[in-house]
Amino acid sequence: MKIERPRGTRDFLPEEMEKRRTIERKLREIAESFGYREVSTPTFEHSELFKLKSGEGIVDEMYVFKDKSGRELALRPELTAPIIRFFVNECSNFPKPLRFYYFENCFRYERPQKGRYREFWQFGVELIGSDSYLADAEVIILADKMLKSLGIDYELHIGHVGILRNALSFLADKASKAMRLIDKRDEEGLENFLKEIGVKEETKQKIKAIMNLKGGREIIEDAKKLLDYDFSYLERLLDVLDSAGVVYTLNLGVARGLDYYTGVVFEFYSNDLGAQKQICGGGSYELAQLFGGIKTPATGFAIGFDRICELVDLKPEKKTKVVVVYFRGLEKKAFEVAENLRSSGLIAVVDVMERSLKKQLSYANDINADFAVIIGEEEVKKGEVSVKDLRSGEQFRIQTEMLPLLSSKR
């Protein structure tokens, strides 16, 4: 019986994995250049962790199961909650700020569609312990540098949930529902909700005007005319981003529907994707107190790794590939030569099918090797090997100890 892979998952061929690893290495190098260090958390957690962060509704989106002791567990649907749980449990007393990054797979039980899978990967960072605008600036600059390094065509939109909450403060405990509707870009739903609870038309128009403010930093002046709010935090942040050469759109309609977000929020959108165009999202938040810790400011982001892999045409660095071809009886010598090639940084493949010389050479062409190193009795006696350049067809003999020089001939 042929068994198919589960719906919403993928198999990756070697070429795709080479590309993904190349992108991953680039993101790791940039994160580490900012002083971030990698952490890892369990693939599954107590389901309560995600309910505390996102509400009971998230259960429908998760893979939830009970273990043999009846404990309800869930495959992680995202990484921020596990990282903060880890922070509270393991390192809340470490010197602040803490700079963590992660690269892990996540799982969501949702309808698979283009750009959305049930198993997906996130690359993200969390900067824990600072409530300064400089922390937001660093994280945004880092995300911008990562995406820029991959040659992606994107737009960065920056908002501030404090501004929206100020505009909605008169709604008291109903403000959270309005924030969720703004987060979903559901203007019709927001209109109906505000009408239902009796908000005056003038106030509705003011809220809509604020959430539709979009452009350069000059829109802050427009916002000041609508709201009695201290915009100095946002202005200082934008000063740093301008100085760093970060190109952004100030978009006061960028929101978050969950109460633990505290200030600046941001999203990166690809100009080359369809409806699912967000490739990175982040912001400042306070979660530690929900998981038994003390209130601790943090800011971070997560990159949708699968989406950026769709956008990036990045060729992995090519290493010289050599197939060691040998006559029967010279297997040990073939393995010895191959190991010498590998220790010099080349890729070396030895036939393990006990095939004829002709078939070994044919296989070398099939896997797009650069060279075939041919070992025969006569060559072994003289301390030599025959080398065939599989691209040009040229064949020559060299001393065995000169084989590492093949890397310069690619």
Segments making up each domain of the chain, as ranges: 14-311, 321-409
User: In this predicted model, which residue has the larger pLDDT, 386 or 404?
Assistant: 386
Mean pLDDT of 88-99: 95
Spell out the residues 6+ positions from residue 361 whose beta carbon is closer than 8 angstroms to its own: 323, 325, 372, 388
Predicted confidence band of residue 409 (pLDDT cuts 50, 70, 90): low
Closest CA to 22 of 315, 368, 227, 293: 315
Spell out the residues 6+ positions from residue 292 whose beta carbon is closer than 8 angstroms to its own: 88
Is beta strand 119-128 parallel, antiparallel or unpaired with respect to 249-251? unpaired
Give me the residues paired with residue 386 across strands: 374, 397
Mean pLDDT of 106-130: 90
Residue 222's CB is within 10 A of a number of other CB atoms, namely 14
Helices 201-211/161-168 angle, 10° precision: 180
321-409: CATH topology is Rossmann fold (3.40.50)
Predicted confidence band of residue 258 (pLDDT cuts 50, 70, 90): confident
Q: Tell me: the pLDDT tens digits for 352-364?
A: 999 999 999 999 9
Residue 410 has pLDDT above 60, yes or no: no
Residue 200 has pLDDT above 80, yes or no: no
Would you state the pLDDT for residue 204? 77
Give the DSSP letter of residue 1: -
Predicted confidence band of residue 249 (pLDDT cuts 50, 70, 90): very high
Q: How far apart are the first and last CA of the chain?
A: 45
Q: Is 38 helix (H, G, I), strand (E, B) or coil?
A: strand
Would you state the pLDDT for residue 173? 75
User: In this predicted model, which residue has the larger pLDDT, 6 or 272?
Assistant: 6
Residue with tokens 């003289």: 382
Predicted confidence band of residue 12 (pLDDT cuts 50, 70, 90): very high
Cis before 97? omega within 30: yes
| Amino acid letter, residue 144 | D
Mean pLDDT of 290-312: 95
Task: Look at the chain and count its residues.
Answer: 410
Helices 161-168/175-183 angle, 10° precision: 130
**Residues 176, 190: Cα–Cα separation, whole Å:** 12
CA pseudo-torsion sign 24, 26, 28, 31: negative
Would you state the pLDDT for residue 236? 97
Would you state the pLDDT for residue 164? 86
**Residues 345, 364: Cα–Cα separation, whole Å:** 19
Residue 276 has pLDDT above 90, yes or no: no
pLDDT > 70: what percent of the chain?
98
How far lies 117's CA from each of 6, 109, 111, 381, in Å?
A: 11, 9, 8, 58
Residue 115 has pLDDT above 60, yes or no: yes
To the nearest 10°, report the CA torsion of 121, 123, 128, 132: -130
pLDDT > 90: what percent of the chain?
71
Q: Any idea which architecture 14-311 has in CATH? A: 2-Layer Sandwich (3.30)
Strand ranges of the sheet holding 64-66, from the earlier edge strand across to the other edge: 44-46, 72-75, 64-66
Average pLDDT over all residues of the chain = 91
| Amino acid letter, residue 92 | S
pTM greater than 0.85: yes
* 283-287, 378-382, 385-389, range with the lowest pLDDT: 378-382
Residue 130's CB is within 10 A of a number of other CB atoms, namely 18
Would you state the pLDDT for residue 304? 95
Residue 261 has pLDDT above 60, yes or no: yes
Residue 203 has pLDDT above 80, yes or no: no
Is beta strand 249-251 parallel, antiparallel or unpaired with respect to 154-160? parallel
Residue 377, token pair as written in the block = 């009795």
Spell out the residues 6+ positions from residue 358 whose beta carbon is closer than 8 angstroms to its own: none
Would you state the pLDDT for residue 174? 75
Contact 74, 56 (CB under 8 A): no
Mean pLDDT of 31-35: 98
Residue 21 has pLDDT above 90, yes or no: yes
- Chain CA centroid to CA 250, Å: 23
Closest CA to 134 of 237, 234, 31: 237
Predicted confidence band of residue 189 (pLDDT cuts 50, 70, 90): confident
How far lies 210's CA from each of 169, 188, 190, 193, in Å?
A: 14, 16, 13, 17
Would you state the pLDDT for residue 255? 84
Helices (H) and strands (E) in the chain, counts: 14, 17
